[in-house]
Amino acid sequence: MGKPPRQRRAPRAVSVARMQQIDAAAIETIGVPRLLLMEHAGLAVARAARMLTAPSAGPIFVCCGTGFNGGDGLAAARHLHEWGYPLRLLVAGPLDRLRAEPATYATILQRLNLPLLEVPDTARLPQAERPLKECVLIIDALLGIGTRGAVREPIASLIVRLNRSGKPVVAVDLPSGLDGDTGLAQGPAVKATVTVALGLPKQGCFRGAGPSYAGSVIVESITIPRAFLEFD
């Protein structure tokens, strides 16, 4: 008889700083392209959304920030589109702020005739009301582990509207507005149904009020090398 399969330990929650070190090591030391990680993150988020709703039920509203968390949301949108889901897409900030990899996904989506609603300020927020009313599920890709300080506008007001809608939410990596270390809300914070933790879960999802914002936490490696994700 061969050796029994190695037991996989439950992934341990980490601080934001530790997760950022791990991401940097995967990208810079090992050379895993950021676009490749984003593609896997998007696929993981799309699969979580697929567990909660079917294409025939109605649109999914994908709300993205201008950082890499937003890029993960745009990557998820590409998969969901290929699986036949109707989508509504929002970018909270100027589109020209998107960095290379998120901009790649934004271009693909636009060329597939999926319009991106650009909400750079609170004046444009009323345009989010219609997709919010129409959708059956929200993907929260506004803010992840790169959040600094209290949540600024227009994202703060958008979070209030998302929560008020009562629609189920899949949060990417961390519910927007939740401090990934302390579990404290940085102003308004998204109340998620499911949080798809990328790489390793963040401590804030389990501390203080964190669990009431994060909902069920699913952990996805997104192909960050295993050696970085398993430690004592």
Which residue in this structure is represented by tokens 């996989």? 8
Question: In whole angstroms, what is the distance from residue 61 CA to residue 89 CA?
Answer: 6
Identify the residue among 53, 64, 66, 114 touching ligand NAP (CB under 6 A).
Answer: 66
203 contacts ligand NAP (rule: CB under 6 A):
no
CB 200 within 8 A of CB 219: yes
| Binding test (CB under 6 A) with ligand NAP, winner from 39, 140, 173, 220 | 173
Size of the site for ligand NAP (CB under 6 A): 29
Query: In this structure, which amino acid lies at residue 190?
Result: V
Choose the binding region for ligand NAP from 4-12, 48-56, 141-149, 206-214 (rule: CB under 6 A).
141-149
Is residue 45 near ligand NAP by the rule CB under 6 A? Answer: no
Minimum Å distance from CB 118 to ligand NAP?
14
- Per CB under 6 A, does 207 bind ligand NAP? no
Q: Angle at the Cα of 150 (from 144 to 156), degrees rounded to 5? A: 75
Q: 58 and 89 in contact (C-beta within 8 Å)?
A: no
Token reading at 163: 């929560």
* Among 86, 146, 168, 208, interactor with ligand NAP by CB under 6 A: 146
Site for ligand NAP in 20-39 (CB under 6 A): 23, 27, 34, 37-38
Query: In the complex, what is the shortest distance from the CB of residue 135 to ligand NAP, in angstroms, rounded to a whole number?
Result: 21
Tokens for 125? Answer: 């927020």
Q: Does 149 bind ligand NAP (CB under 6 A)?
A: yes
Listed in sequence order, the DSSP H helices in 190-229 are: 210-214, 226-229
C-beta of residue 114 within 8 angstroms of C-beta of residue 87: yes
Element at 194 (helix H, strand E): strand 194-198
- According to the binding rule CB under 6 A, does residue 72 interact with ligand NAP? yes
Percentages of the chain per state (helix, strand, coil), in multiples of 5 = 45, 15, 40
Task: Choose which of 45, 49, 62, 172 interacts with ligand NAP (CB under 6 A).
Answer: 172
Decide: is 145 part of the binding site for ligand NAP (CB under 6 A): yes
Minimum distance, C-beta of residue 121 to ligand NAP, in the bound complex (Å): 12
Residues 27 and 148: their CA atoms lie apart, in Å, by 22
16 lies in the binding site for ligand NAP (CB under 6 A): no
Residues of this chain that interact with ligand NAP (CB under 6 A) are 23, 27, 34, 37-38, 41, 65-70, 72, 143-152, 155, 172-174, 198-199
